[in-house]
A and B are shown apart, each in its own frame.
Chain A
Amino acid sequence: MAVASVGGLGSENLLREGGLALQWRIGFDKWIGRLLPLLYVVALLPIADMIYWIAVHALPTLTWATLTDTSVTNTHSLAVPIVGTFYIMVVATVVAVLLGLFGGIATAEFLPESVAGYARTAANLLAGTPSVVIGYFGYFAFVLYFGWGLNLIAGAVTLAFFMLPYLFRTVDLAYTSVPRAIREAAYGQGARPTQYLLRVATPIAFPQVLNGVFLAMAIGVGETAPLFLTLQQGILIPTGLFQPASFLTGQIWENYTQPQGSGGLALAFQAAFILLIVVLGLNLVVRLISGRFRKRLEGLFQ
């Protein structure tokens, strides 16, 4: 009988010593285990650097007035763009959620599988479309064709189309991932499709849909190009949907190129800092929701 190598097939030697191949294997595993966490740190470094860089430039001159002073004469305030961004996000989110919810549910529940496939491909295509192209679409469709002009509603609806594919896909996924057995049980008990949707599927899909809403908001709030092409930046807080409105990403773009000593650079970084906090906040909300609902639905997805 041939002598089996240490650790190989038929070897009864259980000790860690002996055999060069075995030594090499153990050592390799150990180093891979140390190397991978290191790469994780490398991936985190740019993020840490970015946060540090923004904070260093933004914080020294950041005052309460920067966030709250809405007077036109104060050129070192972000209060107007903060409110503008908020209004834009509210309108864009409402439009995107309505379209995404109906589209996603229709795709998951009502469209025949072949048609649903086209809807999903279309959503993926939209998600991969550069935001500036979405901006041009909004410019031609809403600003020119519908004749809305360069204002809050045109910008917000264009932004909604940028957020739409993320919402559509989350809603579609949330409703299709309701366990088949649960779906059959509801229909087997005599639920009509709308009753199944409202009483069974929605409570199960809801946390995922809510996550999708907040993530789409986090993606939308940092977007610049769709708004640049469809919205005229104003210096006043808008009081109607058909008025100009300024927004934080626009402030970054405009102030970053201001001459030295004008304080423009600091203002750009402050706008970036606020956006960073908002995006971080939205992501924290997502984590909170996921954790809470996972407990409630525990044992459902086996």
Chain B
Amino acid sequence: MNGAPVLSVKELTVRSKDRTLLDRISIDFDSASLTAVIGPSGCGKTTFVRALNRMSEITPGLRVGGRVEYLGQNIYDPKVDPVLVRRRIGMVFQRPTVFPLSVFENAAFGLRLVHASEEETDRAVTDALQRAGLWEEVKGDLDRSALSLSGGQQQRLCIARALAVQPKVLLLDEPCSALDPGATQRVETTIERLKKEIVLILVTHNVGQAARVSDRVAFLHSGRLIEVGTTADILERPREALTEQFITGRFG
């Protein structure tokens, strides 16, 4: 890396039919970092991460403007295939979304899509399950149904599924919002280990979680990026009044 950001967002605007969901957002994401995106409900956090791998196009009716550069390439270039974008920029959702397949086949899903060889798939699945912190719990029986796992295990399997194709960027959209405290803690441990390897962008409504795991915090409000800075700066010495009001719990 020559110091260039892995992901560079420039003047990103997202509009629905009748309103602006995101208004000219610019932010860079460097390699091996964890940025928490916080803000009140409806501020555009989820819209923001979904625009970073063109998942926004799955919902019809959204128009995206501006640029999102992945390794210098604008992912909104008309020549870019959105499917290939999603294969390089992974995503984990609010609720665990395992497929009704075995643990192994869930983790191998992305590799099957690109017809990876059996040895390659075996190696990548093992590696991904280890990185996601699930290996020790499932290594005895990789053929069991993924639906038989607990919610927290399912969510780590979803992280493993995203990691198996070795993305440089992983988008996490409130990955712990459906989990109990114990499961949340294990997912956070996984996230903290991963942030030393790849770019993580974590959407959370939970300021405590941002404080525990992130290096950097971006605060969104009404579709605008109010401020971004190191976690300590934003949470302890916010420059903007809106940020302070949010993190001290006066709204949101």
Contact = CB atoms under 8 A, between A and B. Distances in A.
Interface stretch (A56-64, A155-163, A178-186, A211-219): A178-186
Q: How large is the interface on A (under 10, 10 to 19, 20 to 34, 35 or more residues)?
A: 20 to 34
A181 B177 CA distance: 14
Residue with the highest number of chain A CB atoms closer than 10 Å, among B90, B95, B101, B113:
B113
A188 B83 contact: no
Interface stretch (A47-55, A124-132, A256-264, A293-301): A293-301
Interface in A21-40: none
Interface stretch (A2-10, A98-106, A143-151, A189-197): A189-197
Nearest to B105: A199
Given A189-B86, A297-B147, A184 B55 contact: yes
Could you tell me the dominant secondary structure of chain A's interface residues?
Answer: helix
Contacts of B86: 187-190
Contacts of A184: 55, 58, 93, 97
B34 to A, nearest CB: 19
A187 B97 CA distance: 12
A185 B158 contact: yes
Contacts of A190: 83-84, 86-87, 110, 113-114, 165
Interface string B53-79: 101001010000000000000000000
Nearest to B161: A189
Contact of B99 (A113, A182, A296, A302): A182
Contacts of B83: 190-192
A179 B95 CA distance: 11
A203 B90 contact: no
B99 A200 contact: yes
A29 B91 CA distance: 52
B113 A181 contact: no
Contacts of B53: 188
B181 interface: no
Interface in B88-121: 90-91, 93, 95, 97, 99-101, 109-110, 112-114
A203 B100 contact: yes
B162 interface: yes
B85 to A, nearest CB: 8
Nearest to A293: B100
A188 B145 CA distance: 21
Contacts of A189: 86-87, 90-91, 109-110, 113, 161-162, 165
Contacts of B55: 184, 187-188
Given A189-B86, A189-B161, A195-B113, 7 more contacts: A189-B90, A189-B113, A190-B110, A190-B165, A192-B83, A203-B100, A302-B95
29 contacts: A113-B60, A179-B97, A181-B95, A181-B97, A184-B55, A184-B58, A184-B93, A184-B97, A186-B109, A187-B58, A188-B53, A188-B55, A188-B86, A188-B93, A189-B90, A189-B91, A189-B161, A190-B84, A190-B113, A190-B114, A191-B83, A195-B113, A199-B99, A199-B112, A203-B100, A203-B101, A204-B100, A300-B100, A302-B95
Interface of B: 53, 55, 58, 60, 83-84, 86-87, 90-91, 93, 95, 97, 99-101, 109-110, 112-114, 145, 147-148, 158, 161-162, 165
